[in-house]
Amino acid sequence: MLSGKMLYAVHNGTYVIQLCGDVRLSMCSALDHFLDAMFEDPVLSSVLIDLCEADGIDSTTLGLLAKISVSSQAKFQRLPTIISTRPDISRILESMGFESVFNIVHEKTNSANSQTPECVNEVPAWESSEQEVCCKVLEAHRTLMQLNEQNKNTFQHVVAALEAEQSN
């Protein structure tokens, strides 16, 4: 698999976040800090997440995507949108119950293809300590657990292990 990359663009208050390649735990601090700054931006009005170029997404990244939905619903009282054209990625989203917390589109529209390369930026890298990363992973998995009972059962042991590690 390709190493991951996170890109973004802003157009008329809509943040477009594109995840490319294999997006994993090592990128969670950068994505989390970006999301915090994004939700503080007064021009933010909606979020579109493009997963068409994603080869893989781990559970920590899924938890951060769930954070986008929770924050969007709290701020705008509406669901953000995910574009997912890859059947394997779409299955992962479905297995996590994302269809209840996102508008999921399975084909890329012409407007989504019209993004010009000049306005696309890479989410800046963010260095974090091992303890900070552990906190981000724990928060992401707690968010996933809150989405539905199946996720709660799936991730309760992961969360318990992370909490035990944090208390040591």
Q: Is residue 83 part of a domain?
A: yes
Q: What is the CATH number of the domain that holds 46?
A: 3.30.750.24
Q: Is residue 135 part of a domain?
A: no
Tell me which residue range forms the domain holding 28: 5-126
> Residue 132: is it exposed, middle or buried by C-beta count within 10 angstroms (0-12/13-18/19+)?
middle
Per DSSP, the three-state class of 80 is: coil
Q: Is residue 60 part of a domain?
A: yes
Looking at the chain, the number of H-run helices and the number of E-run strands are: 6, 7
Angle, in degrees to the nearest 10, between helices 59-76 and 28-40:
10
CB contact at 8 A, 43 and 13: yes
pLDDT tens series, the chain, 168 aa: 458 899 999 999 999 999 999 998 888 899 999 999 999 999 999 999 999 999 999 999 999 999 999 999 999 999 999 999 999 999 999 999 999 999 999 998 765 444 444 589 999 888 888 888 889 999 999 999 999 999 999 999 999 998 998 887
Into how many domains does the chain fold? 1
